[in-house]
Amino acid sequence: MKLSGDPEGLEELKRIKEENLFYLKFIMKEAKSNTDNMTVFKDKTGHKRYRLSYNPTDDSFTVTAADG
């Protein structure tokens, strides 16, 4: 599994991994199971949103900023 994309979004995923591993597993599973292969999550403050997209052909995730 490969993870790439927005550096701030990747840092946020690392923070989530350290603080709440179950939530990280949840959003990754949600991205894999949604019909559009993506989900949105917020940063710690709740102000900035990120989009986690899943590409099933190469089993990779991409993080992009969802705001603006």
pLDDT of residue 51: 97
Q: What is the pLDDT of residues 10-53, one digit of tens each?
A: 999 999 999 999 999 999 999 999 999 999 999 999 899 999 99
Provide the residue range defining the domain that includes 9.
2-65
How many structural domains comprise the chain?
1
38: number of Cβ within 10 Å: 17
pLDDT at site 68: 58
Half-sphere exposure of 40 (CA within 13 A, CB side): 8
- State pTM to two decimals: 0.90
Q: What is the pLDDT of residue 67?
A: 77
Please report which confidence band the pLDDT of residue 7 belongs to, taking 50, 70 and 90 as the band edges: very high
- Residue 37: predicted pLDDT: 96
